[in-house]
Amino acid sequence: MSKKPIKVESCRCSGEGSHEISILNKNDQIRREVREHYKNTAQARISECCTDNENLIKEIVENDPKLYSEEELRSIPKGSNLGLGSGNPVFLAEIHQGETVVDLGSGAGIDCFLAANKVGKSGKVIGVDMTAEMIELARNNAYKNNYENVEFRLGEIEHLPIADNTVDLIISNCVINLSIDKSQVFKEAHRVLKSGGRLIISDIMFDHELPEKLRAAFDETAGCVSRAEVKEQYLDRIRNAGFNEVKIVDHIIIRPQKKRVYNEENPEETKKITMISSGKKAELELTKDEMKQVETAIISAHVKAVKSSK
Ligand SMILES: C[S@@+](CC[C@H](N)C(=O)[O-])C[C@H]1O[C@@H](n2cnc3c(N)ncnc32)[C@H](O)[C@@H]1O
């Protein structure tokens, strides 16, 4: 681990060593929080004796027809769909028989199983997740449904347990926004891809910068949105990792559900919104102008990139 001190504006401690320690502790704590959250999500799923898969399928297909089709959801193991994704990278990936696919942050395996149906017996899909309980769920789903071309590995996407230049396609669904080191995730993705390999991911990001007050409120929720970045910064990280043809291929704006009505005569009037992400809440009083900025700020985007052939 590097001994180079990392400067943080908010750090009030003195001495270069202390700077480094405080950053490491903060990052460890964030990782712990994320893992704890998904551990609880997985355990809740394990303990539900009669999970209503039919209702979940209906909800996803009706609320967001662009996410997964009913046919796709019926083609995979019941317990693999936890409703945690933000898009459908497999749909965009044009996967071929015999390919090797890696899913970053595979959860209970939904996208791995969709990909496994496409790569066939001659191909292979590897799901990587840092939450042991998610890996257990996913492995059970594979075992009970006789998937022999899928494997789930416990690990962090910042340090992939996968050899160099061995993968045709990397997918990921609503995960990289949670990472404390997104540049490192993209470097790792680049390392394991063969030349000409594709990166096709769905993720949450900000469409535009927000004033500090609004950004700070998102930070407090500590969930998906809290470490999301503005789209240009996100794409630059992918380019800087060595990828080419980096682009957002489609996106949707995620709007707060309740619409607020303001008094047109009073521009200073504020209304309350509650932001919830990964179970944590932050409350904010916003003027009409601020509300407009927040309402259009969060997007779910599909991003594509290629590791250039040498
Ligand atoms: C929002 S869920 C998405 C799961 C899955 N992709 C889906 O669509 O259902 C995020 C998943 O990523 C995993 N995760 C978060 N940060 C990670 C990291 N740094 N390394 C590995 N897994 C991570 C969590 O354990 C969790 O299973």
Q: What is the residue-level pLDDT of the chain in tens, covering all 310 positions?
A: 443 433 333 333 334 444 555 666 888 888 898 899 899 989 987 766 445 677 778 777 777 767 899 899 999 998 999 888 889 999 999 999 999 999 999 999 999 999 999 999 999 999 999 999 999 999 999 999 999 999 999 999 999 999 999 999 999 999 999 999 999 999 999 999 999 999 999 999 999 988 887 777 776 654 567 788 999 999 999 999 999 999 999 998 887 666 778 888 888 888 887 766 555 667 778 888 888 888 888 899 999 999 997 6
Any idea where the domains of the chain sit in the sequence? 50-252+293-307
Please give the order of strands across the beta sheet that includes 100-104.
150-154, 124-129, 100-104, 167-173, 193-206, 298-307, 243-253
Count of beta carbons in the 10 Å neighbourhood of residue 147: 21
| Residue 88 CB less than 6 A away from ligand 1 | no
Per the listing, tokens 């890696």 go with: 102
Give the Å distance between the CA of 142 and the centre of ligand 1. 18
134 lines ligand 1 (CB under 6 A): yes
Pairwise CA distance, residues 92 & 85, whole Å: 15
Look at residues 175, 149, 122 and name the one whose alpha carbon lies nearest to residue 300.
175
CA of 172 to the centre of ligand 1 (A): 9
Give the type of residue at 146. Answer: N
Per-residue model confidence (pLDDT) at position 298:
87
Please answer whether residues 226 and 220 qualify as being in contact, where contact means their C-beta atoms are separated by less than 8 angstroms: yes
Architecture label for domain 50-252+293-307: 3-Layer(aba) Sandwich (3.40)
SS3 at position 220: helix
Q: Are 126 and 120 in contact (CB under 8 A)?
A: no
Atom of ligand 1 nearest to the CA of 110: 9
Whether residue 108 contacts residue 81, with contact meaning beta carbons closer than 8 Å, is answered with yes
Instruction: Choose the residue to mutate in 130, 186, 200 for probing ligand 1, maximizing ligand atoms within 8 Å of C-beta.
Output: 130
* Pocket lining: 60 vs ligand 1, CB cutoff 6 Å: no
- Can you give the pLDDT at residue 9? 31
Q: Check pocket membership of 129 for ligand 1, CB cut-off 6 A.
A: yes
Measuring from atom 12 of ligand 1, which residue has the nearest CA?
105
CA angle 134/147/83 to nearest 5° reads 40
Query: Could you give the 3-state DSSP secondary structure of residue 39?
Result: helix
Residue length, the chain? 310
pTM, whole model, 2 decimals?
0.87
Ligand 1: residue of 27, 38, 88, 102 to mutate (most ligand atoms within 8 A of CB) is 38
Residue from 189, 132, 133 nearest 159 by CA: 189
Q: What is the pLDDT of residue 277?
A: 59
Q: Please state the separation of Cα 219 from the chain's center in Å.
A: 16
Q: Is 248 left (phi over 0), alpha (psi -120 to 50) or beta?
A: beta
Per DSSP, the residues of 177-220 read GG-S-HHHHHHHHHHHEEEEEEEEEEEEEESS---HHHHHHHHH
